[in-house]
């Protein structure tokens, strides 16, 4: 059978304009498939509060720099669900309590929600409660249906500058820094030893392919830190969480490897074997994700030199699947397919078109359903958790 693929190619130049978690409020949307991230974030909230305690507060009525400036929080890679709103609430509530403990009036608060231009900011802003006007901070914080801070959306890549110099007190980024700014060119070059032939992810790939991803991750993280070193106030702090791994071998990608390197990979192979796409079409698609080791992360921070590491560890987050009936294989299969589709469905749609994308994820679901018990045992995420502030 001749391949039925659509002639759609996503270049690295288009990736930034295209990529996002799946928007809207449908079954495979991020808004309806980010409960696991919420659970994992809640389990790490004590680390976040420790980071917030590192922020040096100014006098009464002032932000980190004192005076009458607002206290500014920025969530980078916010996506379009309620998780980002919840974490901003935690940050602002904690800082407000610190001001109260000092006997100072809290400043005004401002929150920036930032992600790539293709992010579904409309859905995010619809989830925001209204700003409380003419209400005290204490009354506002006690109410669940009002917010105590001003809001702005900031579209752009966090691997570049996004904010004015020395303007942000707290940077937060969770479950985003493992996404690379681009696929390493050598991975897509048939003449390169790093060419990722036959695979759509680096899990189980050859050493050259994995090292290309590793170098790209380090380049990207270095760019991220350089930008934040200009934007963050000297008294501020930064809390970062991304997918991580416990193995020193970069081809062993842990939970990310199970998510993208097993049933998802096999579904692509199915399309090739069934004649729906060519092997070249499959090989030109790669998931731009790298789960670093703690050493990978540490090396970049130390090479940058701007920040001191207050905390850096690998934290077991658990499964990315939230299930009502874990014994129901059909629910497991559907949950895995939705999880994959939520985070990379936009890229798949652009690469092979909507119709073949639907076929792909049906095969992911079918395969995951048939191996549900094994999948639940193996699919466990680890996270790199980092708390950084400026070197003195």
- Do the domain assignments include residue 229? yes
Helical segments of 291-328, H only: 294-304
Q: What value does the mean pLDDT take over residues 167-189?
A: 94
- Do the domain assignments include residue 16? no
- Compare 91 and 128 and report the one with higher pLDDT: 91
32 vs 341: CA distance, rounded Å: 12
| Cβ atoms of residues 78 and 115 within 8 Å | yes
Bridge partner list, 151? 111
Binned at pLDDT 50, 70 and 90, residue 64 comes out as: very low
The pLDDT assigned to 119 comes to: 87
Query: Helix or strand or coil: residue 203?
Result: coil
Q: What value does the mean pLDDT take over residues 369-386?
A: 91
Bridge partner list, 72? 110
180 vs 222: CA distance, rounded Å: 12
Structural domain range at position 320 = 25-54+70-390
Binned at pLDDT 50, 70 and 90, residue 35 comes out as: low
- Within its chain, how far is the Cα of 356 from the centroid? 26
The pLDDT assigned to 140 comes to: 46
Segment 118-153, tens digit of pLDDT: 888 988 898 888 775 544 445 544 455 668 899 999
| Cβ atoms of residues 338 and 27 within 8 Å | yes
Token digits of residue 252: 């062993």
State the DSSP string of 52-63: HTTSPP-STT-B
CATH code at 190?
3.40.50.150
Q: What value does the mean pLDDT take over residues 152-156?
A: 95
- Do the domain assignments include residue 121? yes
Any idea which residue has 């702090």 for tokens? 237
The pLDDT assigned to 320 comes to: 78
312 vs 295: CA distance, rounded Å: 10
The pLDDT assigned to 159 comes to: 96
- Do the domain assignments include residue 335? yes
Residue 33, pLDDT above cutoff 70: no
The pLDDT assigned to 68 comes to: 60
Residue 156, pLDDT above cutoff 90: yes
Token digits of residue 374: 């094994």
Q: What value does the mean pLDDT take over residues 358-362?
A: 95
Buried b (16+ CB within 10 A) or exposed e, 167-181: bbbbbbbbbbbbbbb
Helical segments of 290-328, H only: 294-304
What's 186's DSSP letter?
A: G
Binned at pLDDT 50, 70 and 90, residue 55 comes out as: very high
Q: How many Cβ atoms sit within 10 Å of the Cβ of residue 25?
A: 14
Q: What value does the mean pLDDT take over residues 179-200?
A: 94
CA distances for 320 relative to 357, 382, 384, angstroms = 21, 10, 15
C-alpha torsion 28→224→231→155, nearest 10: -30
- Do the domain assignments include residue 179? yes
Segment 302-349, tens digit of pLDDT: 999 999 999 999 998 888 787 889 899 999 999 999 888 888 888 999
Token digits of residue 214: 């590793």
Q: What value does the mean pLDDT take over residues 286-304?
A: 96
Buried b (16+ CB within 10 A) or exposed e, 258-274: bbbbbbbbebbebbbee
Any idea which residue has 């409660």 for tokens? 129
- Do the domain assignments include residue 12? no
Q: What value does the mean pLDDT take over residues 177-183?
A: 94
Segment 200-227, tens digit of pLDDT: 999 989 999 999 999 999 999 999 999 9
φ/ψ of 341, rounded to 5, equals -65, -35
- Do the domain assignments include residue 2? no
State the DSSP string of 231-262: HEEEEEEEEEEEEE-S-S-TT--HHHHHHHHT
Tell me how many domains the chain contains: 1
- Do the domain assignments include residue 7? no
Any idea which residue has 């639907």 for tokens? 358
The pLDDT assigned to 65 comes to: 42
338 vs 29: CA distance, rounded Å: 8
Quick one: which of 254, 250, 285 has its CA closest to 267? 285
Q: What value does the mean pLDDT take over residues 23-29?
A: 56
């Amino acid at each position: 059978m001749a391949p039925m693929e659509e002639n759609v190619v996503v270049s690295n130049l288009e990736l930034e304009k295209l990529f996002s978690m799946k928007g809207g409020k449908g079954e495979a949307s991020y808004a309806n498939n980010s409960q696991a991230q919420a659970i994992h974030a809640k389990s790490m909230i004590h680390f976040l509060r420790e980071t917030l305690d590192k922020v040096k507060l100014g006098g009464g009525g002032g932000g980190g720099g004192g005076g009458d400036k607002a206290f500014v929080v920025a969530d980078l890679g916010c996506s379009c669900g309620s998780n980002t709103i919840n974490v901003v609430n935690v940050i602002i509530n904690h800082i407000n309590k610190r001001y109260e403990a000092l006997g100072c009036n809290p400043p005004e608060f401002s929150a920036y929600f930032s992600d790539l231009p293709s992010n579904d900011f409309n859905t995010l802003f619809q989830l925001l409660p209204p700003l409380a006007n003419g209400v005290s901070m204490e009354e506002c914080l006690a109410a669940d249906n009002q917010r105590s801070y001003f809001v702005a959306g900031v579209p752009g890549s966090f691997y570049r500058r996004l904010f004015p110099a020395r303007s942000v007190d707290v940077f937060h980024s969770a479950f985003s820094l493992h996404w690379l700014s681009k696929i390493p060119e050598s991975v897509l070059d048939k003449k390169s030893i790093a060419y990722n032939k036959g695979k759509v992810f680096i899990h189980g790939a050859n050493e050259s392919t994995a090292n290309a991803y590793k170098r790209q991750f380090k380049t990207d993280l270095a760019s991220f830190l350089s930008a934040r070193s200009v934007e963050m106030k000297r008294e501020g702090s930064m809390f970062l969480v991304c997918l991580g791994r416990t193995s020193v071998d970069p081809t062993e990608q842990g939970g990310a490897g199970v998510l993208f390197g097993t049933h998802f990979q096999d579904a692509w192979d199915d399309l090739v074997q069934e004649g729906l796409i060519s092997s070249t079409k499959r090989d030109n698609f790669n998931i731009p994700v790298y789960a670093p080791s703690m050493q990978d992360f540490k090396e970049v921070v130390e090479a940058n030199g701007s920040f001191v590491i207050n905390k850096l560890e690998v934290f077991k987050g658990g499964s990315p699947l939230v299930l009502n009936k874990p014994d129901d294989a059909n629910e497991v299969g559907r949950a895995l397919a939705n999880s994959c589709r939520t985070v990379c469905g936009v890229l798949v749609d652009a690469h092979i078109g909507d119709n073949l994308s639907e076929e792909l994820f049906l095969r992911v679901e079918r395969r995951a359903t048939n191996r549900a018990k094994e999948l639940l045992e193996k699919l466990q995420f680890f996270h790199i958790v980092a708390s950084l502030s400026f070197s003195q």
